[in-house]
Structure 1
Amino acid sequence: MADERHIPITSEEIAHSFDEPPAPVDLSVYAPEDWFVFVVFWVMAGAVFLQFFTRYVLNNSFAWTEEIAIYCLVVTVFVGSVMCVRLYRHIQVDFIYRLLPARAARVLATVADVINVSFFAYAAYLVWRYSSIISTERMVTVDLPKSIVFYSVLAGFALMALRAAHLAVVHWRQGHSVLERPEGTEPAES
């Protein structure tokens, strides 16, 4: 075990260590859909807190808070996934790209980009079809159409398709993707 040397420091020196100006905050990395998800997330948190408070403190819960929290979670997941697509942060397996020659890795990465865009576009189409089928259904405890939630999911998938298409173009232009060169590729700016 190595000897640790502790340098004596006074309380005044500790207090002055906080005198540094705070680092500048850069909000430019966030897109409009990120702020929308931020608001929906806090609405969900408020609904969950209200549900907890009314159920366990007042012993008389509001039934609608659970339904609102569930639908807010659905919106948060699907619209929040747009940020993961934009920043290329979804789960990916890049091990095989290290084993392939550069040309084969490039082709495989392009195929992966095409599959991503196709999947998101097809999912958007399916959600649009489903939303049109249930357009007259209402929520159970709140008198609102369920289609509000599903149109939010549709918007999420459509935005994911657009962001994935943008990333595919960026990868094509720069000649590589994060899958091929994970150490030196920054996510595309929108």
Structure 2
Amino acid sequence: MSEKLLGDDGEFHVTDEAVDLSGTTVEAWAALGIFWALGLTVLYQFVTRYVLNDSAAWTEEIARYLLIGVVFIGASIGVAKNNHIQVDFFYRHMPTRMGKALGIAVDVLRTLFFVAAVVMTVQMMIKIGNNAAMTIVDLPMNIVYGVCLLGFVAMLARSLQVSWVHWQRGYCVLERPESTIQDR
């Protein structure tokens, strides 16, 4: 590292790099917004419980549902970056054609899984209807399931996008773990 941290005056001098948020996906912004709502809800719960000694009962339930939203919406970020769990070891030691076939199979199975998740979530929402309500807050549970559905739809769309990138460039990240989905 050639950059000098301490100046001649003995003070610490560092300049930050420019922040580039242009690559941030829509899902990431949505997950961040839900996360902030979760943080504010938990802060409100803390203040009402420990400062005002009069706990707001709804905060625990809403915080739980907001956490579910962060997970389901945020999971599509992992799909978009193709960061799902994988075992690179086997791909390094298997024949190239076998690795390519297995990579295609993984893309197809991942996409089919998300199709099934979307279909089953819609079926569950139709079956439940607006009859089931949240425990404390008088809102339908389908709001929570709708957020899960939105997350699954985003994961499906990102899975299709990742599969298309793999198809276009002729290999997947499983075959070449040193590459990323941004490499084109």
Alpha-carbon distance change, 108 to 10 in structure 1, aligned in 2, over 3 angstroms: closer
- In the TM superposition, 1:1-190 aligns within 5 A as 12-15=9-12, 17-18=13-14, 20=15, 22-136=16-130, 137-183=132-178, 185-188=179-182
Structure 2 unmatched ranges of 5 or more: 1-5
CA distance in 1, matches of 2:85, 2:47: 36
Partner amino acid for 1:182?
P
Structure 1 residue 13: Cα displacement: 4.3
Name the count of aligned residue pairs.
Answer: 178
Alpha-carbon distance change, 65 to 97 in structure 1, aligned in 2, over 3 angstroms: same
Q: Which runs of 4+ in 1 moved over 2 A?
A: 56-59
Any idea what the Cα deviations from partners look like across 1:127-157, whole Å, max 9, x if unmatched? 1111112221221221221111111111111
Partner amino acid for 1:103?
R
Partner amino acid for 1:78?
F
Any idea what the Cα deviations from partners look like across 1:158-179, whole Å, max 9, x if unmatched? 1111111111111111111111
Structure 1 residue 84: Cα displacement: 0.5
CA distance in 1, matches of 2:24, 2:142: 27
CA distance in 1, matches of 2:128, 2:46: 31
Partner amino acid for 1:76?
V
CA distance in 2, matches of 1:133, 1:95: 44
Bigger Rg over Cα? 1
1:37 touches 1:79 (CA, 8 Å); kept in 2? yes
Instruction: Compute the RMSD of aligned alpha carbons.
Output: 1.8
Structure 1 residue 50: Cα displacement: 1.5
Structure 1 residue 188: Cα displacement: 3.9
When normalised by structure 2's length, the TM-score is 0.90
When normalised by structure 1's length, the TM-score is 0.87
Partner amino acid for 1:35?
W
Structure 1 unmatched ranges of 5 or more: 1-8
Structure 1 residue 30: Cα displacement: 0.9
Structure 1 residue 11: Cα displacement: 6.6
